[in-house]
Amino acid sequence: MWPFWWKGASGFSAHSTAEQVTHGIDGTALTAIITGPFFSMICVRLRASSGIGEETTRVLALRGVHVVMAVRNTDSGNQVRAKILKDTPEAKIDVMKLDLSSMASVRSFASEFKSLDLPLNLLINNAGIMACPYTLSSDNIELQFATNHLGHFLLTNLLLDTMKKTANESNTEGRIVILSSEGHRYAYREGIRFDKINDEASYNTLQAYGQSKLCNILHATELARLFKEQGVNITANSLHPGSIMTNLLRYHSFINTLGNAVGKYVLKSIPQGAATTCYAALHPQAKGVSGEYLMDNNISSPNSQGKDTDLAKKLWEFSLSLTGEEEL
């Protein structure tokens, strides 16, 4: 993360908030899907009703975007919707059920969304879990890989035809925004353990998280390559939202106490944490920007594995094989 006061080429910094980076932008012609949770240090899925997921929803709706919250807990999602509507009565927000750890749930969500015959301009793959004990998903795939990458991979593929149609008919660039993390730098040494995705004996909670976040970057990289190759008017970028001042470490009393004492100097607030997502989704400066890794509302750079186009292609093929999807 750059120092809070440093402004990059965009004119924004780590200190900028989601409202600031979208000031004056009219999103009334746009429809967005935002997947619900952000991160949880204890592997509890935080809903779009908390943290930067809620703030991203609020600010996009404030700018006139029709937001579909894709959340695991629809009761909590509806509470957020009511809260936002209380402050912004004209906000257009729908809540739909989605469990990214289940491919059946992903397929059900995509089918239900397409049945609504809505356009889709923006897909924000925001949800995630972090540092879980070894667990398998309902599809028998390691949970962090299944939730953070594979669920979003399948969701994106299932919605691409809708996004392409919207981009063509509206003559407006579609944007896919995938939340990654600087944690990608702490993946397993080989980056992605294709032959050991479900290996419990060598499983490491934080390295598995890093692996899934590296997958997010490579997913955006390969999407951007394919869109350019096919002449599709959609961009795909990944980003690091920053270290957010939340209660994620509430069960780690010493770290939480220390964080509360120094956090305001080194951590982002929730409005600052949601800024890069909103910048990538709405700002005119991001038009045509694709295959990049963003941080603090500016283009940044991942590690060498995050730039490996061959690794990105291998991950793409591996993900297709696990989901049973066909090439785009």
Residue 202, C-beta contacts closer than 8 angstroms, at least 6 positions apart = 193, 196
58 C-beta neighbours (distance < 10 Å), count: 23
The DSSP bridge pattern shows strands 93-97 and 234-240 to be: unpaired
Residue of 231, 237, 306, 245 whose CA lies nearest to 274: 245
Which CB contacts under 8 angstroms, 24+ apart, belong to 248-251?
248/39, 248/40, 248/41, 248/42, 248/46, 249/41, 251/42
203 is catalytic: yes
CA distance 215 to 209: 10
Residue of 114, 143, 141 whose CA lies nearest to 127: 143
Q: Name the active-site residue from 203, 209, 279, 293.
A: 203
Residue length of the chain: 328
Instruction: Identify the three-state secondary structure at position 17.
Output: coil
CA angle 235, 240, 243 (to 5 degrees): 155
Position 228, amino acid: K
CB 150 within 8 A of CB 127: no
Active site residues: 203
